[in-house]
Amino acid sequence: MRVRELPHPCRSGISAHHSVSETTPMTDFEARDLTEGLNGFLGFRLIDWREGFARIAVDIEERHKNRQGGLHGGVTASLIDAATGFCGVYEPDPEKRRGNVTVSLNVNFVGRAKGSTLICTARVIRAGRRIYFAGAEVHDEHENLVASAEAVYAYVDRDAQRRPAS
């Protein structure tokens, strides 16, 4: 599989070798999944996305900090939720892409971020017809482990997921 560099290299030390495959240019996926709602507010960037795998990064800003001045755990958990969510629904054709909802998310906060960027790498552990299991790790750009996680997702119809509740 050929790869291309991202059009806008990530700042804060993420190297250009992080890539998106030729078959999944950034314009192919529904950008609103990372630019609208909480993901967009937090500034998440999709770095790599392929079958059973996703990598998402975020630059740590003041708005991401707790009242003690450290990184808020909710930002880390949200980053994990986004990456584990993406890793299980990869499909080059946006018309065929499945939706998903989080069933369970277990996060272990194991260290402090010492850098200015978080990078979450998520992989599918096992997938069935209706649910999938994923694992993830979050590191800073210096490769310090910040958190590890396990998640369970249920596949859902994307159109039903976007309709307002009645």
pLDDT tens-digit series, residues 45-66: 999 999 999 999 999 999 999 9
CATH number at 9 reads 3.10.129.10
In a domain? residue 64: yes
This prediction's pTM: 0.79
In a domain? residue 83: yes
Q: Is the pLDDT of residue 90 over 70?
A: yes
**What is the domain range of residue 55?**
3-160
In a domain? residue 29: yes
pLDDT tens-digit series, residues 124-156: 999 999 999 999 999 999 999 999 999 999 999
CA distances (Å), 12 to each of 79, 117, 141, in order?
17, 6, 7
In a domain? residue 141: yes
In a domain? residue 166: no
Which pLDDT does position 11 carry in this prediction?
A: 35
In a domain? residue 165: no
In a domain? residue 47: yes
In a domain? residue 136: yes
Tell me how many domains the chain contains: 1
CA 38-44-48 angle, 5° bins? 135
Which pLDDT does position 18 carry in this prediction?
A: 41
